[in-house]
A and B are shown apart, each in its own frame.
Chain A
Amino acid sequence: MKTFRGVITCAVLSLAMLALVAPDAAAAPKDDYKKLPGYVDFEGMNIFGDLESTVEVFLKGPLLSMAVEAVRHDDPEVAEMLAGLKLVRVHVFDLVGDLGRDLIEKSDRLSKELEKMGWEMAVRVRERDEHVHIYILPGKGNNIDGLVVMVVDDDDEAVFVNIVGTIDPTQIGRLGHGLHIDALDDVDWKSKYRDKRRSKRERDRDDR
């Protein structure tokens, strides 16, 4: 996690440097993404309060379109995945004093809120120095509508990520790899999602 700021900066600049948009796309209202189910209103839920993040990234609209067109030729699968995204939002905080403990409490609170709203926990790591939560919002078919990643590395920094849009869960690892979000890249999403869907089917069968 120590190099996360650097790689996020690199990812932003990389995406900012990626190319060519769909010229016939209609202009959307500025905050249109806020109405999408996968959007998590960190401010409205008062998750960060007065905390000043050291890095804030907002990739949406034309920047994401640019990424799509740039990778379409070399990696059409990733392009297709990026085409479904509406927003990638990242907040990074430097942890000083008791801020780590404070943010761990906040990520626990946010986890409960997300579960109430129908989000499913995909990953939870609670170690002495590191807390990781990854939540997904199931969408239509096999896809998901949103993703939230919360990493609090007590010695270093905290990272909150919200990815909004239609995401193929089996491609999340590639998405994390492309955006340098280690927490996403480290998980075997294919088997995890297969297990998740299998247990859901079993639950549904038992309910019937």
Chain B
Amino acid sequence: MNKNRMTWIVGVIILVSMSSGCLWAPELDRVRRDLQGQLPGVHFKKEFAITLGPLSLGLARSVTRFVPDAREASTYLKEIRRVKLAVYKVDDLPRQSKVAVPIQLQKLLEKRDWELAAKINEHSERVWVLYKEKNDVVREIYVVVLSRDELIMVRVEGRIDRLLAKVVQNHVDITNDDGIEFHVDT
């Protein structure tokens, strides 16, 4: 295969892959707007938002496979089908005690497959953890964390069970005397 043709093929692969990944996540932005409506005076400044589909993740997997320090990430990416991630900087978060579950999350919970795993509503932090199950398997996980400094939203679709199995194998010590503990090698 000549060099020119190879360059074209690689270029097309990269273009197609990148086209399935968007540098925005409108669904997550609706959650941000809902929180904005509930918390008058708060300011959210977008720092980062991205949606990665199967093609972008496939490309990322291919790249990480050849980077020695990122090979572990490659095995995790194999189990992920889609990722939506958004991070906002938070200013002037009011000290109000009650923040209702954002409407977008409430709508999901009204559907049959979605469940609430945890809700935290403390002075300076709100967390909602939702998951979608199908045939008794976790297929999606949706986490929203609102703290005084940041709003972080992430929705991951895929074989969450297998993904977490790999994370557990690599980073969780379940026989620890202090109960279930995570450890991350640095």
B137 touches A60 (CB 8 A): no
Which positions 153-186 of chain B face chain A at CB distance < 8 Å? 161-162, 164-169, 172, 174-175, 179-182
A108 to B119, CA, bound (A): 26
User: Which of chain A's residues have a CB closer than 8 A to the CB of B165?
Assistant: 19-20, 66, 69-70
Interface membership of chain A positions 185-197, coded 1 if the CB is closer than 8 angstroms to chain B and 0 otherwise: 0000000000000
A207 at the binding interface (Cβ < 8 Å)? no
Contact residue among B117, B122, B134, B175 (Cβ-Cβ distance under 8 Å from A74): B175
The residue in chain A whose Cβ has the minimal distance to the Cβ of B173 is: A74
> Known contacts A27-B136, A62-B133: does B115 contact A18 (CB below 8 Å)?
no
User: Which of chain A's residues have a CB closer than 8 A to the CB of B112?
Assistant: 30
B117 touches A58 (CB 8 A): yes
A26 touches B129 (CB 8 A): no
A14 touches B172 (CB 8 A): yes
B168 touches A19 (CB 8 A): yes
User: Which of chain B's residues have a CB closer than 8 A to the CB of A25?
Assistant: 135-136
User: Which of chain A's residues have a CB closer than 8 A to the CB of B97?
Assistant: 52
Chain A binding site: helix, strand, loop or mixed by DSSP?
A: mixed
The bracket for how many chain A residues form the interface is 35 or more
Interface membership of chain A positions 12-29, coded 1 if the CB is closer than 8 angstroms to chain B and 0 otherwise: 101111111111011110
User: Which of chain B's residues have a CB closer than 8 A to the CB of A20?
Assistant: 161-162, 164-165
Which positions 42-72 of chain B face chain A at CB distance < 8 Å? none
The residue in chain A whose Cβ has the minimal distance to the Cβ of B167 is: A17
Contact residue among A14, A27, A61, A178 (Cβ-Cβ distance under 8 Å from B115): A61
B120 at the binding interface (Cβ < 8 Å)? yes
User: Which of chain B's residues have a CB closer than 8 A to the CB of A61?
Assistant: 115, 133, 136
A16 touches B117 (CB 8 A): yes
A53 to B179, CA, bound (A): 24
B121 at the binding interface (Cβ < 8 Å)? yes
Q: How far is the CB of A42 from chain B (nearest CB, A)?
A: 15
Contact residue among A52, A66, A177 (Cβ-Cβ distance under 8 Å from B121): A52
Contact residue among B98, B121, B135 (Cβ-Cβ distance under 8 Å from A27): B135
Which positions 111-156 of chain B face chain A at CB distance < 8 Å? 112, 115-122, 127, 129, 131, 133-138, 141
The residue in chain B whose Cβ has the minimal distance to the Cβ of A94 is: B122
A11 to B179, CA, bound (A): 9
A14 to B168, CA, bound (A): 9
User: Which of chain A's residues have a CB closer than 8 A to the CB of B182?
Assistant: 14, 17
Most buried by B among A11, A25, A69, A70: A70
A16 touches B120 (CB 8 A): no
User: Which of chain A's residues have a CB closer than 8 A to the CB of B175?
Assistant: 74-75
A92 to B164, CA, bound (A): 27
User: Which of chain A's residues have a CB closer than 8 A to the CB of B135?
Assistant: 23, 25-27
Not counting A58-B115, A58-B117, a sample of 19 additional A-B residue pairs whose C-beta atoms are within 8 angstroms of each other reads: A9-B127, A15-B180, A17-B164, A17-B182, A19-B164, A19-B169, A21-B161, A23-B135, A23-B136, A30-B115, A55-B119, A55-B121, A62-B161, A66-B164, A66-B165, A70-B168, A71-B174, A74-B174, A78-B174
Interface residues of chain B, those whose CB is within 8 Å of chain A, are 97-98, 112, 115-122, 127, 129, 131, 133-138, 141, 161-162, 164-169, 172, 174-175, 179-182
26 A-B contact pairs sorted by A residue (CB < 8 Å) = A5-B120, A12-B118, A14-B179, A15-B180, A17-B182, A19-B162, A19-B164, A19-B165, A19-B169, A20-B161, A20-B164, A23-B137, A27-B133, A27-B136, A30-B112, A52-B98, A53-B121, A55-B119, A55-B120, A55-B122, A58-B116, A62-B136, A66-B164, A74-B174, A94-B122, A178-B180
Chain A to chain B: the 5 pairs with minimum beta-carbon distance, closest first: A19-B165, A25-B136, A14-B180, A20-B165, A56-B119
